[in-house]
Amino acid sequence: MNKSFVKKICALLITLTVLPAPSWATGYTETKYPIVLAHGLFGFDNIGPVEYWYGIPAALRSDGAKVYATQVSAANSTEVRGEQLLTQVKQIIAVTGKAKVNLIGHSHGGPTARYVASVRPDLIASVTSVGGVNRGSKVADLLLGIAPDGSLSNAVIVSITNGLATVINFLSGGKGLTQDSLAAAKSLSTAGSLKFNTAHPEGIPTSSCGEGAYQVNGVSYFSWSGAQAYTNVLDIIDPALALTSLAFSGAKNDGLVASCSAHLGKVIRDDYAMNHLDEVNQTVGLVNIFETNPVTIYRQHANRLKNQGL
């Protein structure tokens, strides 16, 4: 073999040993603090093999992140859910030995995570709201308008939705979690959200569709959301989201939440071609094939948190 060629190969091997390793090999998603996922209305951690955050925890863990999917009441007020989440955050901190966690909340999980950061900012490194109901939802407003308190239709709806929430809670292994769908609807309404934001304003934009403070009381705030209700003809839920999207009178929305309502802190994007379920890679991965995969967006965000020392 040519000695010159051998020398070149040896030189190349030596160079490779001293070069920094690529991001995927050094923990692309390895955040300083654990990532804690907070589900939305009628959500769960998992039911059998189906995760609420479909395929997302595993993808984050594969490159170094410590990830915990929490379970709170499938339907209840933001404050009740927030206290339940706070209890689990304390347990996660005790188990991991870390001083803080990074909260990521979807839908009603957004304000639920915000509640925890507001009352215990010392335990939270960041809050990320994904399709979060931060300024209320027209769908909740419409529901409360159609079925006002005390009406027969309200009683029927509350009975059915409380039953659904109880079944979800049972199937996902939750114990002792109270369900109150009327309290949930009020929390998610425009009026309920305004009241909540007065008590817990951290990260909320001061303009109708702007950005909020990037950091408050040592907690960093981020958000992103979708803006397309119908994204996959194979997903049986998409037609329903296309119908509920009509409640927004043409305003940009993901089928359940207006894009501007989802803003919190630093807005990464509010116009992904995703609907409300796509934002958590549902239904079972049937998402828009012409948009960045939701799992990739979570991985990118974990890397963002890592690079910011979070």
Strands (E), the chain: 35-38, 46-47, 50-51, 67-69, 101-106, 124-130, 215-216, 219-226, 266-272
**Pair of tokens at residue 218:** 């040592």
- How is residue 309 written in tokens? 């020392």
For 288-298, write each residue's pLDDT tens digit: 999 999 999 99
Q: Which sequence positions are flagged as catalytic?
A: 107, 254, 276
Give CA–CA dist 126/5, Å, rounded: 52
pLDDT digits (tens), the chain, 310 positions: 455 544 444 444 444 333 433 444 469 999 999 999 999 998 887 777 889 999 999 999 999 999 999 999 999 999 999 999 999 999 999 999 999 999 999 999 999 999 999 999 999 999 999 999 999 999 998 888 865 666 655 555 555 665 555 565 655 566 678 888 889 999 999 999 999 999 999 999 999 999 999 999 999 999 999 999 999 999 999 999 999 999 999 999 999 999 999 999 999 999 999 999 999 999 999 999 999 999 999 999 999 999 999 9
Task: Please report, as a single letter, which amino acid is at residue 131.
Answer: G
Question: Which pTM was predicted?
Answer: 0.88
| Cα gap 229→233, rounded to integer Å | 11
